[in-house]
């Protein structure tokens, strides 16, 4: 295991909020302190990224232990409201046991998101579990610096043999961290891992796939779409490894066409279909989703159930307007392909686009396609992706299903 680059047991330095900062919000559970809210004197600027400190308000009253990264706009993240807390392996094990207890109450098999960052008390940390293997995304500097104790705690609590580090994604770059992934304990699987969800089999590439290998967050939305799929012709756009399409076929869909820009992801879709013995009902098509939807319209194609689950078109506020236009365009291109009385499902994982804005863009796109929508269901991420009420970003996933 790697050794922490700072002594977590030594007396902690003190950092202080500016008078204008909202200390009350911190006391009531707000997890982040922004760079313009913290006094950044020479001592604070000299802290190693990820170092622990005691946070005080402007009147020198302690608020708790934070982790500090002066390279990030989120300069401090709340770790513990107890200013005497020691952020060590035992502390990590306590939070991991609590997270594991919740997941084991919800799921019969060890395939789920085990840790969802701030909402599970481990700021910036994502951990997805795939049976005997866990994949960690240490997206905050503290978790990168203390990856050794974190890995040891994870093994102690879960008993898994293999722990992988996934360093992809824009969040790490915002923290000033590298993009080097690797094996932290045990070994990486030499083939895709089969994952059972909603009766379907998905093949997850834990080392070369998107994110950690699969999108557990869509589990309940896959299930809702599957409930509409019996006898239906299904189109799964931005399908990744066949999330909606495979769930629909196993629920009795007549056929599912899965579209994605990634050839490897579509190959995993085909492997999942083969593992379930439903290859005759599943077809794949590689290409840009906007182009393929346009081509399907020209071909006169029609589907009873269409789901579009694109990547985050608005990952941050500066991209919001362009992102909303993209969501509107997807809805406008997909709606004409839905049969009379069919259902169109539209998803967004952009935290910058809230539910109201995403719904407005979707309805506008459907209307511009000449269709009349009735909203029949609004879905969110599964319960293994808990939301922290004080942090809107944790409620990023939205799924809207319209009867046309």
* Residue 237 belongs to a domain: yes
pLDDT greater at residue 315 or residue 164: 164
* Residue 9 belongs to a domain: no
* Residue 8 belongs to a domain: no
Tell me the C-alpha distance between 247 and 253, whole Å. 9
pLDDT of residue 1: 35
Question: What DSSP character marks residue 316?
Answer: S
**Is 209's pLDDT higher than 90?**
no
**Is 237's pLDDT higher than 80?**
yes
Cα 383 to the center of its chain, rounded Å:
12
* Residue 313 belongs to a domain: yes
pLDDT of residue 331: 98
Over residues 95-108, the pLDDT tens digits come to 999 999 999 999 99
In the listed set 80, 113, 128, which residue is the last one of a domain according to the structure?
Answer: 80
Contact (Cβ atoms closer than 8 angstroms) between residue 400 and residue 345: yes
pLDDT of residue 2: 37
Q: What average pLDDT score do residues 261-275 get?
A: 96
pLDDT of residue 15: 97
Assess whether 41 and 133 both reside in one domain: no
Assess whether 379 and 263 both reside in one domain: yes
Assess whether 128 and 100 both reside in one domain: yes
Order of strands, edge to edge, in the sheet holding 255-260?
A: 282-286, 255-260, 233-237, 303-308, 338-348, 398-403, 374-379
DSSP β-ladder status, 74-80 and 133-138: unpaired
Q: What average pLDDT score do residues 243-248 get?
A: 98
Tell me the C-alpha distance between 154 and 97, whole Å. 9
Over residues 65-100, the pLDDT tens digits come to 999 999 999 999 999 999 999 999 999 999 999 999
> What are the residue ranges of helices labelled H in 236-354?
243-250, 263-276, 289-298, 320-334
pLDDT of residue 4: 44
Contact (Cβ atoms closer than 8 angstroms) between residue 157 and residue 127: no
Assess whether 76 and 93 both reside in one domain: no
Assess whether 38 and 60 both reside in one domain: yes
Q: What average pLDDT score do residues 368-391 get?
A: 96
Q: Give the chain's length.
A: 404
Q: What average pLDDT score do residues 229-250 get?
A: 97
**Is 28's pLDDT higher than 90?**
yes
Task: Report the share of the chain in percent with pLDDT over 70.
Answer: 98
Tell me the C-alpha distance between 361 and 321, whole Å. 10
**Average per-residue pLDDT for the chain:** 95
Helix (H) or strand (E) holding 27: helix 23-27
Which residues are registered as beta bridge partners of 346?
308, 400
Q: What is the pTM of this model?
A: 0.94
Residue 282: helix, strand or coil by DSSP? strand
Tell me the C-alpha distance between 161 and 65, whole Å. 31
DSSP secondary structure of 146-198? THHHHHHHHHHHH--SEEEE---SHHHHHTT-----EEEES---SSPEEEEET
Contact residues for 273 (Cβ-Cβ < 8 A; gap 6+): 242, 246, 249, 279, 281, 282
Whose structure tokens read 């609004």?
378
Assess whether 205 and 341 both reside in one domain: yes
Assess whether 273 and 398 both reside in one domain: yes
Tell me the C-alpha distance between 286 and 364, whole Å. 27
In the listed set 185, 220, 251, which residue is the last one of a domain according to the structure?
Answer: 185
Over residues 143-197, the pLDDT tens digits come to 999 999 999 999 999 999 999 999 987 889 989 999 999 999 999 999 999 999 9
User: Where residue 9 falls among pLDDT bands split at 50, 70, 90?
Assistant: low
User: Where residue 10 falls among pLDDT bands split at 50, 70, 90?
Assistant: low
pLDDT of residue 3: 37
In the listed set 122, 155, 185, which residue is the last one of a domain according to the structure?
Answer: 185
Q: What average pLDDT score do residues 280-305 get?
A: 98
Question: What DSSP character marks residue 3?
Answer: P
Assess whether 229 and 272 both reside in one domain: yes
Assess whether 165 and 208 both reside in one domain: no
Q: What average pLDDT score do residues 278-305 get?
A: 98
Structural domains counted in the chain: 3
Q: What average pLDDT score do residues 48-58 get?
A: 97
Least confident of 14-23, 167-176, 337-346: 167-176
Assess whether 257 and 396 both reside in one domain: yes
Torsion-angle region of 253 (φ positive above 0: left; ψ -120 to 50: alpha; else: beta): beta
Assess whether 237 and 345 both reside in one domain: yes
Contact (Cβ atoms closer than 8 angstroms) between residue 79 and residue 67: yes
Which CATH number do you get for residue 29? Answer: 2.30.130.10
Q: What average pLDDT score do residues 344-365 get?
A: 96
Tell me the C-alpha distance between 28 and 51, whole Å. 23
Assess whether 375 and 250 both reside in one domain: yes
Structural domain range at position 152 = 89-185
């Amino acid at each position: 295991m790697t050794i922490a680059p700072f002594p977590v047991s030594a007396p902690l330095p003190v950092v202080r909020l500016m008078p204008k900062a909202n200390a009350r919000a911190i006391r009531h559970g707000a997890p982040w302190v922004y760079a313009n809210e913290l006094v950044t004197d020479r001592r604070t600027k000299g802290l190693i990224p990820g170092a622990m400190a005691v946070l005080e308000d402007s009147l020198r009253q302690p608020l708790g232990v934070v982790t500090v990264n002066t390279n990030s706009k989120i300069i401090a993240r709340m770790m513990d409201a107890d200013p005497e807390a020691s952020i060590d392996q035992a502390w990590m094990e306590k939070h991991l046991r609590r997270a594991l207890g919740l997941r084991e109450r919800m799921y019969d098999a060890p395939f789920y998101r085990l840790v969802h960052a701030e909402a599970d008390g481990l700021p910036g940390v994502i951990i997805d579990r795939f049976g005997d293997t866990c994949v960690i995304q240490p997206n905050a500097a503290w978790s990168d610096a203390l990856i050794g104790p974190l890995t040891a705690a994870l093994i102690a609590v879960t008993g898994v043999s293999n722990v992988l580090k996934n360093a992809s994604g824009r969040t790490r770059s915002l923290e000033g961290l590298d993009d080097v992934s690797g094996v932290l304990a045990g070994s990486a699987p030499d083939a895709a891992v089969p994952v059972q969800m909603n009766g379907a089999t998905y093949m997850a590439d834990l080392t070369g796939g998107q994110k950690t290998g699969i999108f557990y967050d869509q589990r309940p939305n896959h299930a809702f779409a599957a409930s509409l799929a019996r006898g239906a012709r299904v189109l799964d756009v931005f399908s990744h490894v066949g999330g909606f399409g495979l769930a629909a076929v196993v629920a009795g869909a007549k056929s599912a066409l899965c579209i994605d820009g990634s050839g490897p992801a579509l190959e995993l879709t085909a492997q999942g279909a083969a593992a379930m013995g439903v290859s005759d009902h599943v077809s794949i098509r590689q290409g840009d989703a906007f182009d393929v939807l346009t081509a399907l319209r020209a071909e006169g194609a029609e589907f009873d159930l269409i789901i579009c689950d694109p990547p985050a078109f608005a990952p941050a506020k500066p991209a919001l307007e362009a992102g909303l236009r993209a969501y509107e365009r997807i809805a406008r291109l997909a709606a004409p392909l839905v049969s009379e009385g069919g259902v169109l499902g539209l998803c967004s994982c952009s935290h910058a686009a809230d539910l109201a804005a995403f719904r407005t863009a979707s309805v506008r796109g459907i209307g511009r396609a000449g269709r009349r929508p009735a909203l029949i269901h609004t879905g969110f991420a599964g319960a293994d992706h808990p939301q922290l009420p004080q942090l809107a970003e944790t409620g990023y996933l939205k799924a809207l299903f319209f009867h046309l």
